[in-house]
């Protein structure tokens, strides 16, 4: 019972942090003077401190290894994974190569969620289609 409570607390902590980061990045789009690249790095550092998760590791991980990376014991559930994908799908960086890499990873996360989720999400499908169109326009 204690372990279940701990896992639920970790899930809640990750969810709260991801929601705050998504809101912060959405707000940044309206503030041209702020460097979004620096904000992304700061948010990655905060994510590492709070949850032990590093976005750079995600970028290096193949889609086939997502199951290993996002074990439920680490607090990642479908809703948190979708929040993470939402967070990184809208990243704008000065380094356009890294930006495209991050958005590809967001698309892979959405596709992974479609594979493992027991419920269909039209919103998730819309996000995948939008990312595919965006990435194809940049190739």
pLDDT bucket at 21, cuts 50 / 70 / 90: low
Give whole-number Cα distances, 102 to 1, 33, 54, 55, in Å: 37, 22, 13, 9
Give whole-number Cα distances, 61 to 31, 72, 101, 122, in Å: 32, 17, 12, 26
Cα(131)–Cα(69) distance, integer angstroms: 22
Mean pLDDT, rounded, for 61-90: 83
Tokens of 55: 């976005």
pTM of the model: 0.73
Mean pLDDT, rounded, for 70-97: 80
């Amino acid at each position: 019972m204690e372990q279940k409570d701990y896992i639920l607390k970790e899930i809640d902590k990750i969810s709260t942090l991801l929601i705050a980061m998504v809101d912060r990045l959405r707000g940044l789009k309206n503030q041209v003077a702020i460097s979004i690249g620096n904000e992304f790095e700061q948010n990655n550092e905060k994510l590492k401190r709070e949850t032990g998760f590093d976005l750079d590791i995600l970028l290096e991980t193949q889609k086939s290894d997502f199951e290993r990376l996002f074990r439920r014991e680490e607090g990642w559930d479908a809703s948190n994974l979708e929040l993470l994908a939402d967070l990184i799908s809208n990243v704008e960086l000065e380094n356009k190569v890294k930006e495209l890499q991050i958005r590809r990873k967001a698309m892979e996360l959405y596709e992974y969620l479609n594979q493992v989720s027991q419920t269909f999400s039209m919103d998730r499908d819309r996000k995948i289609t939008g990312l595919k169109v965006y990435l194809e326009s940049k190739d």
